[in-house]
Amino acid sequence: MNEELYDKARDAAANAYAPYSNFHVGAVVVADDGRVFEGCNVENAAYGSGICAEGNAISSAAASGVRKIDTVVIACLDAGECYPCGNCRQLMREFSVDTVVVQDGSGALRVHSFDEILPHSFGPDSLGDG
């Protein structure tokens, strides 16, 4: 199952628009209702306006009404290990991601709990009543 999702993430990475970094990343999101969404990184001449593959996939899921994500699978065509950036870890936190799957650089996948990816995190449930 994770292998199939990873293959799908690699397909998404092939669509990455990464003329500045040449770093092609794809992500697949599995929602709690089983729907699957994908994204790739989309860079911009104004570098800071680029978006990561994970953020793209998460935004796509949210735009289709998803509010709980079970799993995020990440593939990179240009590196061995590829872990999500800090900002994407926080984006995952918002939608209560349980599991993050990454490539290990030798053809195998690593399955992480979200707490391993972003321990002691801040999220919607951390806000007080104001």
Active site residues: 54
Tokens of 8: 């799908």
**Euclidean distance between the first and the last CA atom of the chain, given in angstroms as a whole number:** 42
**The one among 5, 53, 75, 100 contacting ligand THU by CB under 6 A:** 53
Q: Which stretch binds ligand THU (CB under 6 A): 30-38, 59-67, 78-86, 118-126?
A: 78-86
Of 32, 33, 35, 38, the residue nearest 16 (C-alpha):
38
Considering the rule CB under 6 A, would residue 85 count as an interface residue with ligand THU?
yes
Q: How many CB atoms lie within 10 A of CB 45?
A: 8
Q: Which stretch binds ligand THU (CB under 6 A): 1-9, 60-68, 82-90, 92-100?
A: 82-90
